[in-house]
Amino acid sequence: MIDALQDFTSSLPPLLQWLGVVAAGAVPFVESYFGSVIGVLAGLDPVVAVGAAVVGNVASMLALVLGAHGLRRRFAGDAGEPSAKRLRLRRAFDKYGVAGVSLLGQTILPSQITATAMVSFGADRNAVIRWQILSIVLWGIAFGALAAAGVNLLGAG
């Protein structure tokens, strides 16, 4: 899937490649970190690649968090057997809080899923949004910088 998104982004006219990175960043499991890499490998300036990937990731996360918040308010108290992944995420949420799950949760699940789950657990929507945005930006910068360093290293060799 990453290769397909990179091919799609590279096939766009240079002035529109950042839109391909925005779209890639909105995809769960691609997010800001792989979206940044896709942009850098497509030849975008790393700052543009990271920015576009972050915008896509934040937009999709916000849509899901705000939707989950609305559904939770409407259907508070729903019954049902939680899945094993949801129980594991709940334990991490109880142990590390919104900040910890936001910053480290992307190593396990996409930000869209972790953010939505935290809101469904009753976490403050605005706190989840703030921490998720910080996490999305940090992960995007880290992977964008690594991709740029790799491109520069390969180009110099």
Residue 131's domain spans which residues?
2-156
Angle CA 105–109–115, to nearest 5: 65
On the CB side of 141, CA atoms within 13 Å amount to 6
One-letter identity of residue 147: A
Record the pTM.
0.83
- Gap between the Cα atoms of 115 and 126, Å rounded: 11
How much is the pLDDT for 128?
A: 95
How much is the pLDDT for 137?
A: 97
Residues, the chain: 157
Q: What is the DSSP letter of 12?
A: S
How much is the pLDDT for 147?
A: 95
One-letter identity of residue 130: R
pLDDT below 50 — which residues of the chain?
none
How much is the pLDDT for 156?
A: 66
On the CB side of 53, CA atoms within 13 Å amount to 35
Q: What is the DSSP letter of 16?
A: G
Number of domains in the chain: 1
